[in-house]
Amino acid sequence: MKILFLNGPNLNLLGTREPDKYGTQTLKDIEIFIKEEAKKHNIEVEFYQSNIEGELVNKIQEAKNIFDGIVMNPAAYTHTSVAIRDAILAVSIPTVEIHISNIHTREEFRKTSLTAPACIGQITGFGINSYKLGLIAISDHLKSL
C-alpha cells in the first residue's frame, strides 16, 4: 500500500509557525514519525509539501496509478481551492483530509472546507496526531475495499 501525504502552504514553517496552534514539531519530525508508524504496518509513505496551489494539483494528478490513497492537509487552500477539490475528484484516489488545529473552533472562514466534500472524511484538531489518525483512516478504508 502506497500513501501520499500532501501538505499545503506554510506547513514548511511548522515548528516555528504559531506554535500555540500548531505545536513545535517540524514537518520533517512529523514525516519521520509517520514513516516509523507506516513501516510497522508495511505501508509505503511519501511526503510532499508546496506553497503553490498548481504544484499541489500537479502532484495529485501525478499520483494516479502510483498511490493507493492520499492524506492531505491542504492548509489555507482548504478554504479556497476549487482546483484541489476538482483534482481529487478527477483522479478518484481515496483521500482523507486532516488538520492539526480544529478548523471548526477558529475563525468563521476556516469552518468551510471546499476540499473535504471530495474526501472520504475529515480529521481535525488532534495536533500532529491528526497525521497518524489520517494514516489509520486511509489504510483501514483501503483494506475494506
- Tell the smallest beta-carbon distance from residue 53 to ligand DQA (Å): 13
- Report phi then psi at 124, rounded to 5: -145, 130
Task: Identify whether the C-beta of residue 131 lies closer than 8 Å to the C-beta of residue 30.
Answer: yes
99 catalytically annotated: yes
The residue with cell 510497522 is: 40
Residues from 105 through 134 that contact ligand DQA (CB under 6 A): 110
77 catalytically annotated: no
Task: Rank residues 1 and 12 by Cβ distance to ligand DQA and give the closer one.
Answer: 12
**Over the Cα atoms of the chain, what is R_g?**
14
Q: Count residues contacting ligand DQA (CB under 6 A)?
A: 10
Q: Which helix (H) or strand (E) holds 4?
A: strand 2-7
Choose, from 99, 104, 131, 141, the residue flagged as catalytic: 99
Three cell numbers at 68? Answer: 493507493
Our finding on whether 6 is near ligand DQA (CB under 6 A) is: no
Task: Rank residues 56 and 100 by Cβ distance to ligand DQA and give the closer one.
Answer: 100
- Tell the smallest beta-carbon distance from residue 75 to ligand DQA (Å): 3
Task: Identify whether the C-beta of residue 5 lies closer than 8 Å to the C-beta of residue 72.
Answer: yes
Strands (E), 24-126: 44-49, 69-73, 95-99, 121-124
Instruction: Name which position in 3, 75, 128, 135 contacts ligand DQA (CB under 6 A).
Output: 75
Our finding on whether 100 is near ligand DQA (CB under 6 A) is: yes
Q: What residues form DSSP beta bridges with 70? A: 4, 95
Active site residues: 22, 99
For binding to ligand DQA (CB under 6 A), which residues are involved?
Answer: 10, 73, 75-76, 78, 99-101, 103, 110
